[in-house]
Amino acid sequence: MWTVKQVSERTGVSIRTLHHYDAIGLLRPTQTTEAGYRLYDVQALERLQCILLFRELKFPLKEIKNILDSPSFDREQALEQQITLLCMQKERIEALLDLARGIQKIGVNTLDFSAFDTTKLDEYAQQAKATWGTTEAYREFEQKAEGRTRAQELATGGQLMDIFRQLGEVRQQAPDSPEAQALVAALRAFITEHYYTCTPEILRSLGEMYAAGGSMTENIDHAGGEGTASFACQAIAAYCRGL
């Protein structure tokens, strides 16, 4: 058995919060001594662990209580669902990191739109607007995107990934080979046509982003094979040196 103080020290949950959980019936102590001390056993700590996972997923306390107190509650199934939701949360955070890196480097971001659910894009696009909506590149991006349907956005993203697929097919050649350089030129023209004017500075920064890791690198490597993102970065660097 552990006292409320020991549980607090072990879990990082404040004593005040544990008292509140008791008061609302979310986490009752296993036993209360004659002196009024709350004691918790292993089962209570397992319940607390489940509560904390649900809290990480932003579930309201009342909802958590209803879930845990349901006669049909299955701890293993709940854990499986929590893992799925946490993985989705992780993917969204990785996408946000890619967006933030794009903002940091060039003030605008181009993504493989087919790699993300468009509702997720909608969520963080609104958050990003205040930061990067004043750049010339973003204004151009917004103008070109205006009127495009989601199906068209997905199709455009697919065409962008097709260029990376072709880069993957020549990745065994030198980055400055005519074939690789022709594809970089096609990539630059595609970005300019569909997103924003791809200046040499922007193209160089995009190349660095492609190879920087995270979901963008994974998406490019998925399209063209392992190492495609790194090869694209090298080919873009060679292309920019020749401008």
Question: Hey, where are the domains in the chain?
Answer: 2-73, 92-241
For domain 2-73, the CATH architecture is Orthogonal Bundle (1.10)
Task: For the chain, give the percent of residues with pLDDT over 70.
Answer: 81
Q: CA-to-CA distance for 178 and 180, rounded, in angstroms?
A: 6
pTM for the model: 0.51
Q: CA-to-CA distance for 93 and 78, rounded, in angstroms?
A: 22
Q: CA-to-CA distance for 58 and 85, rounded, in angstroms?
A: 11
- Which of 50-73 are b and which e, b meaning 16 or more Cβ less than 10 Å from the residue's Cβ? bbebbeeeebeeeebbebbeeeee
What are 201's two structure tokens?
């500075």
**pLDDT at 114 > cutoff 50:** no
Mean pLDDT, residues 127-143:
56
- Which of 116-149 are b and which e, b meaning 16 or more Cβ less than 10 Å from the residue's Cβ? beeeebeebbeebeeebeeeebbeebeeebeeee
183 vs 128, residue with greater confidence: 183
